[in-house]
Structure 1
Amino acid sequence: MTEFQPRRAARVLLVDDADRVLLFHGVDPGRPDHRYWFTPGGGLSAGESAVGGAVRELAEETGLVRPSADLGEPVYQETTEFPFDGVWYRQEQEFFLLRVPSWSVDTTGFDQIEKDSIIAHRWWSIPELERTKERYYPDELTTVLRRVLGKD
């Protein structure tokens, strides 16, 4: 039986005026052949609210500073289990939607883990995500985006 490390996280669906979502391209240091795309966000500190963590992570990972009120309520929640750098996590995560006209991503706020595990970023359209053979998380991303953007 796998021993899971519990973790709470907040993630942001950062969507531009062309309805493209920002994703980071990551690699698991413990499994260098495992590459995947994922939304900005990350683990919450003890006592940190999900929206507070989303605001903090957004600033650290993209350079975009916005007040909590701009993110509103979560648009999607899930519990996921995954390994990262040799540790198995059971992560409860909430996703927030933030629309921006456009944004030039600034990754100078990356911590060491992010510097070691994030190799690129790009803006993806829903059709591009639906066509790609590349792995992205959450698995339901296109369904969630279609729902929150009114494209379903």
Structure 2
Amino acid sequence: MSESQLPPPGTVRHRTTARVLPVRPDGKVLLLHGWDPLKPQTPYWFTIGGGVESGETVAEAAGRELREEVGIVLPIDALGTPVATNTIEFEWGGCRIVQHQTFFAVAVDSVDVTFANQEELELQTISAHGWWYGDDLEATGQAAHVTIPGMLRRAADVITLRRAS
């Protein structure tokens, strides 16, 4: 979430987000480790990304979120076309979220991840980053949403195909 404060409890929020799946040559995908601010005892792994702001394209939002959340700066055209979209529902901060997501996969070699540009709420609810294979993440049961391991597999497949062409 890129919002600086929690929504009023019990509300339902509809949001459009851009998600980015950075993929290394070995097929591992960069994820963030964090928790719901009301449930810090139940951490999980989730994808990089956040809300599309007014006047911003989904690709522009993806590039901005990648820079803000992990310090990776890429030209927008490096994102290519989206690899997937879906809509999920979950609870976060006492609020029901209905989130339409667009996923981009990007090839990266080595990156220096930094949390220096995160907003205060992100700094309070994100503790680490890690590189994951979809199958390994699925085996832990610690994905923020059941769809994430499949997204990691899809991103790795897309990037492998792009690198081969």
**In the alignment, which of 122, 135, 147 is matched to residue 140 of structure 1?**
147
C-alpha change, 1:38 and 1:114, in structure 2 (3 Å) is same
Structure 1 gaps, min length 5: none
C-alpha change, 1:139 and 1:133, in structure 2 (3 Å) is closer
Q: Which has the higher strand share?
A: 1
Instruction: Provide the residue aligned with 1:17 in structure 2.
Output: 25
Q: Is the 8 A contact 2:71 2:114 kept in 1?
A: yes
Q: Which residue type is aligned with residue 119 of structure 1?
A: S
Cα distance in 2 for partners of 1:114, 1:146 equals: 26
The alpha carbon displacement at 1:107 in A equals 1.0
C-alpha change, 1:69 and 1:96, in structure 2 (3 Å) is same
Q: Which has the higher helix share?
A: 2
* 1:110-149 mapped onto 2 (5 Å cutoff): 110-134=118-142, 136-149=143-156
Cα distance in 1 for partners of 2:134, 2:97 equals: 28
Q: Structure 1 vs Structure 2: percent identity of aligned residues?
A: 40
The alpha carbon displacement at 1:147 in A equals 3.3
Root mean square deviation, CA, Å? 1.7
The alpha carbon displacement at 1:4 in A equals 1.7
Q: Are 1:91 and 2:90 an aligned pair?
A: no
**In the alignment, which of 98, 111, 122 is matched to residue 103 of structure 1?**
111
Instruction: Provide the residue aligned with 1:76 in structure 2.
Output: 84
**Cα shift readout 1:24-46 (whole Å, capped 9, x = no counterpart):** 11111122223210011111112
1:79 is paired with a residue whose SS is strand
* 1:25-64 mapped onto 2 (5 Å cutoff): 25-64=33-72
1:33 is paired with a residue whose SS is coil
Q: Is the 8 A contact 1:16 1:103 kept in 2?
A: no
Q: Which residue type is aligned with residue 106 of structure 1?
A: T
Cα distance in 2 for partners of 1:143, 1:45 equals: 27
Cα distance in 1 for partners of 2:118, 2:39 equals: 21
The alpha carbon displacement at 1:138 in A equals 4.0
Q: Which residue type is aligned with residue 22 of structure 2?
A: L
Q: Is the 8 A contact 1:17 1:102 kept in 2?
A: no
Cα distance in 1 for partners of 2:115, 2:22 equals: 15
**Cα shift readout 1:77-106 (whole Å, capped 9, x = no counterpart):** 111111111221111110100010121201
**Cα shift readout 1:104-150 (whole Å, capped 9, x = no counterpart):** 2011011011101101111112342232232x144223333333433
